[in-house]
Amino acid sequence: MGKIHYSIIPVLLLLLFPAILNRTFGDVGTVMRVQPASIQNISVGQSFTVNLTVADVPALFTWQIMLFFDSTILNCTAAVYPTAGGIFTGHNIIPVSPIIDNTAGSVSFGASLSGSDIASGSGVLCQITFEVKGTGTSDLKYSTPYGADTFLLEGDLNVVYSSLENGFFTNVPTPPPTRHDVAVTGLSFSNENPIQGESITITTLVLNNGTITEGAFNVSVSNGTSLIETQTVTDLAAAG
């Protein structure tokens, strides 16, 4: 099996642990998540932070992540270790500096324990902060395939299998709900006091107070139960 190259923690993997890495695909139910999974309605110029977490990892010695985002919508401004609630909280870690590329839209980060120390369970790997620079939508997506730039390692440097759950950002305004509201709002006569045998013109005013253009519909004028005339109205635009 060929060597796997890990770019974020070269000191750890190339100097401390030069052994060839094997993969462990046990059915352990380990999950790496972006939390919260959905970020909405953050305005341009504002910032938000997501936690990259791991759940139900049986034995963790080293982790690395690469997260992709849309650089036309977001700028990554920081990637830090959690001060509390981290999977490595209470352990001595070998830290590394994050690699942030706001042109390509990626952030890479990682950490390792030292010696024979091992962590297990669930917790936060790191916290990523973004500044909103545009309006639109962006995935917050782990790199794939798993085991290349995003991975979890056991103490013997076997890759612990984990499923990945990505996040999503949007600040696109939600369109208002569709509303149909068409009504006859006025009726006028060319002669209010006609005499017998005289022709008059009846004008009806129809207003679309809804939110969408209405297609073809009929407007009828009656005198009691006697129909005077029906006309078809097509493509009546919304008043707003």
- How many folded domains does the chain comprise? 2
Q: What is the pLDDT of residue 231?
A: 84
Which two tokens mark 113?
């324990």
> Who's near 226: CB < 8 A, 6+ residues apart?
none
**Rounded distance between C-alpha atoms, residue 237 and residue 214, angstroms:** 6
Query: Do 151 and 193 share a structural domain?
Result: no
- What's the CATH code of the domain at 121? 2.60.40.680
Query: Do 130 and 201 share a structural domain?
Result: no
Mean pLDDT, the chain, rounded, equals 86
Domain that holds residue 203: 182-233
Query: Do 54 and 159 share a structural domain?
Result: yes
Q: What is the pLDDT of residue 28?
A: 54
Q: How confident is the model at residue 53 (pLDDT cuts 50, 70, 90)?
A: very high
Per-residue pLDDT of 60-73, as tens digits, reads 999 999 999 999 99
Query: Among 25-29, 31-35, 130-134, which is the least confidently predicted range?
Result: 25-29
Query: Where is pLDDT greater, at 30 or 192?
Result: 30
Query: Do 128 and 36 share a structural domain?
Result: yes
Query: Do 141 and 33 share a structural domain?
Result: yes
Domain boundary (131, 148, 170) is at 170
The pLDDT of 8-34, averaged and rounded, is: 54
4 falls within a domain: no
Domain boundary (147, 170, 193) is at 170
% of the chain at pLDDT higher than 70: 88
**Rounded distance between C-alpha atoms, residue 36 and residue 45, angstroms:** 20
**Terminal CA-to-CA distance of the chain, rounded, Å?**
66
Q: What is the pLDDT of residue 184?
A: 81
Query: Do 83 and 24 share a structural domain?
Result: yes
> Who's near 106: CB < 8 A, 6+ residues apart?
66, 67, 68, 69, 99, 100, 143
Contact 113, 88 (CB under 8 A): yes
| pLDDT of residue 148 exceeding 90 | yes
Q: What is the pLDDT of residue 239?
A: 78
> Whole-prediction pTM value?
0.69
